[in-house]
Amino acid sequence: MAVIALHCPQHTVTVFDINKKKVAEWNSDQLPIYEPGLLEVVQQARGRNLFFTASDIDRHIAESEIIFVSVNTPTKTFGQGAGRTADLQYWEKTARMILEHSSSDKIIIEKSTLPVRTAQAMENILNTNAKGLHFEVLSNPEFLAEGSAIQDLENPDRVLIGGHDTPGGKKAVQTIVDLYANWVPRERIITTNLWSSELSKLVANAFLAQRISSINAISALCEKTGADVEEVAYAIGMDSRIGPRFLKASVGFGGSCFKKDILNLVYLCESQGLPEAAAYWEQVIRMNEYQEARFVANMVSAMFNTLAGKRIAVYGAAFKANTSDTRESPALAVCRGLLAEKAELVLCDPHALENARLDLGDDARLVTFEINPYIAAEGAHAIAVLTEWEDFTRLDYKRIFDSMVNPSFIFDGRNILDRAKLFEMGFNVFSIGKEPLLHFNQHPTE
Ligand code: UGA
């Protein structure tokens, strides 16, 4: 919404949230999320045509012509479809609230990621009204990635708008096309029917996650065969049909979307009587869980089959670099695995420690949170690099090595460190998808 406001000074954008604390943060220079470039965009538009508020929802609804609904749609934790399908209660409550306070026709936009045909349900709720109002529901899924959100919004690969093939539907779609055309080239704004748009969002995330699970499956094989996963990724990525992006082997994918959206897709397939298609996509998640568990298992076997009482510095809590978000972070999954082995954890991250503490729940009391990576590694037996923050590549690892217990181990779950140099310094180095570099005579896992 901030980027829309920035590029469309002729429109007034009001962002409403029920969380007063968050709204206050949006109105300050301490935004509630860490996202490079976002503050600058907010500062340019805020107070001009961008407003954040937690009050007067009735008036804001009544005055608006277009409403983007971006409420959360987490995985359902109860009842039918628990653990799989999306929990739509917030979406439905919002639809009812819109209906209650509306006195004119409106375009309602699904910005949240939703199961296919949700728009139908929303239309049924909205258009069954005694006021004679008409609501045109469109789907406009968001494809930005955290950490590069502003870049992705400024210069999107595509903007997708789905609507009905009716005169009212077409008119509403055109209104939203014109909105984005204020800064996005027309040829990158694509329009489809509603269901294609809803499904494309789930499928885009499923395909991206599938690429990561595919390369991670290969990373396991590389570690056994002496092949190097980065070389393999480079070699296959040169094939223009495959392409080079999203082929970085890692400790696993995280974030609030991939797992949730795939589970949603799996549920959709199952509920449409397509168990084979469901099982196919479910395997993408299973492979991700395997990769996280495999990382912990490798650490245990490398460190003489016990981690009990050993201090381990964990570099990275965020699910990826340049974000403070720790939702579904593989780093925290690995932390839980290490805690189960009774390791003593020192967790270090430049921006995500506060969220990590919340997400770890009860386990947080077993973890030391340390912003300084040098202090985190003091007296440690091992370092596990779990988020690809650039800060971790610039550290003085010789200094770190000298402060650690011998033999020292480093497990690079993101392949961001210079492994040959680390080995030379004296570290035993384990990198995802590569043969370990050891100062022992024998591979400790054999
Ligand atoms: C993802 C999609 O990339 C966005 O297009 C989408 O809009 C968004 O979900 C959403 O649905 O909201 P995001 O979760 O922010 O964006 O981050 P990604 O860059 O996709 O990374 C997801 C995870 O995959 C991270 O844990 C990242 O470290 C991991 N990853 C990514 C890899 O392990 N290897 C790669 O090559 C790329």
Ligand 1 neighbourhood includes 146 CB (under 6 angstroms): yes
Ligand 1 neighbourhood includes 325 CB (under 6 angstroms): no
Instruction: State the Cα torsion 168-15-178-138 to the nearest 10°.
Output: -30
Q: Measured in whole angstroms, how far is the alpha carbon of residue 191 from the centre of its chain?
A: 25
Q: What angle do CA 378, 384, 390 make, to 5 degrees?
A: 90
Task: Write the pLDDT tens digit of every residue in 386-427.
Answer: 999 999 999 999 999 999 999 999 999 999 999 999 999 999
Cβ distance 340 to 299 under 8 Å?
no
| CA 256 to ligand 1: nearest atom | 14
Answer whether residue 446 shows pLDDT above 50: no
Tokens of 88: 């739509």
Q: What is the pLDDT of residue 443?
A: 52
Query: Position of tokens 């002496």?
Result: 226
Q: Measured in whole angstroms, how far is the alpha carbon of residue 396 from the centre of its chain?
A: 30
From CA 99, how far away is CA 94, in angstroms rounded? 9
What does the pLDDT average to over 72-81?
88
From CA 246, how far away is CA 207, in angstroms rounded? 10
Ligand 1 neighbourhood includes 208 CB (under 6 angstroms): yes
Beta-bridge mates of residue 429:
410, 437
Q: Which residues are catalytic?
A: 257
Q: What is the pLDDT of residue 120?
A: 85
The CA-based diameter of the chain, rounded to the nearest angstrom, is 81
Q: Ligand 1 pocket check: which of 3, 113, 146 to mutate, most ligand atoms within 8 Å of Cβ?
A: 146
Task: Fill in the amino acid letter for 202.
Answer: L
Q: What angle do CA 166, 158, 329 make, to 5 degrees?
A: 115
CB half-sphere exposure, 107, CA atoms < 13 A: 23
| 106 Cα–ligand 1 center, Å | 33
Ligand 1 neighbourhood includes 428 CB (under 6 angstroms): no
Answer whether residue 445 shows pLDDT above 80: no
Beta-bridge mates of residue 77:
none
Ligand 1 neighbourhood includes 248 CB (under 6 angstroms): yes
Q: Ligand 1 pocket check: which of 207, 211, 212, 294 to mutate, most ligand atoms within 8 Å of Cβ?
A: 212
Closest-CA residue, ligand 1 atom 3, reads 145
Task: Write the pLDDT tens digit of every residue in 260-276.
Answer: 999 999 999 999 999 99
Q: Output the pTM of the full model.
A: 0.93
Q: Ligand 1 pocket check: which of 205, 229, 359 to mutate, most ligand atoms within 8 Å of Cβ?
A: 205
Q: What is the pLDDT of residue 117?
A: 82
Please, what is the average pLDDT of the chain?
Answer: 95
From CA 155, how far away is CA 202, in angstroms rounded? 21
Closest-CA residue, ligand 1 atom 23, reads 253
CA distances from 211 to 29, 187, 281, 314, 364 (A): 37, 27, 12, 26, 32
| CA 251 to ligand 1: nearest atom | 33
| 248 Cα–ligand 1 center, Å | 11
From CA 305, how far away is CA 341, in angstroms rounded? 10
Q: What is the pLDDT of residue 113?
A: 83
Dump strand ranges (E) for 316-364. 344-348
Ligand 1 neighbourhood includes 257 CB (under 6 angstroms): yes
Answer whether residue 1 shows pLDDT above 90: yes
Closest-CA residue, ligand 1 atom 7, reads 143
DSSP, residue by residue, 138-183? EE------TTSHHHHHHS-S-EEEE--SSHHHHHHHHHHHHHHTTT
Least confident of 14-23, 44-53, 80-89, 202-211: 80-89
* Long-range Cβ contacts of 246-249 (<8 Å, 24+ apart): 246/208, 246/211, 246/212, 247/211, 247/215, 248/212, 248/215, 248/414, 248/415, 249/215, 249/216, 249/218, 249/219, 249/222, 249/415, 249/432, 249/433
Nearest to 258 by CA among 220, 289, 233: 289
Answer whether residue 444 shows pLDDT above 60: no
Closest-CA residue, ligand 1 atom 34, reads 248
Ligand 1 neighbourhood includes 198 CB (under 6 angstroms): no
Ligand 1 neighbourhood includes 351 CB (under 6 angstroms): no
Cβ distance 438 to 298 under 8 Å?
no
Cβ distance 15 to 61 under 8 Å?
no
Q: What angle do CA 179, 185, 191 make, to 5 degrees?
A: 65
Tokens of 298: 């490798």
Task: Write the pLDDT tens digit of every residue in 84-138.
Answer: 888 888 889 999 999 999 999 999 999 988 888 888 888 889 998 889 999 999 9
For helices 353-360 and 330-340, give the axis angle rounded to 10 degrees: 50
CA distances from 364 to 292, 339, 356, 381 (A): 19, 10, 8, 21
Q: What is the pLDDT of residue 314?
A: 98
Q: Ligand 1 pocket check: which of 257, 288, 387 to mutate, most ligand atoms within 8 Å of Cβ?
A: 257
Which one has a higher pLDDT value, 71 or 373?
Answer: 373
Q: What is the pLDDT of residue 417?
A: 98
Task: Write the pLDDT tens digit of every residue in 267-306.
Answer: 999 999 999 999 999 999 999 999 999 999 999 999 999 9
From CA 446, how far away is CA 438, in angstroms rounded? 13
| 255 Cα–ligand 1 center, Å | 7
Cβ distance 419 to 433 under 8 Å?
no
CB under 8 Å to 169, separation ≥6 — which residues? 136, 138, 163
Answer whether residue 440 shows pLDDT above 90: no
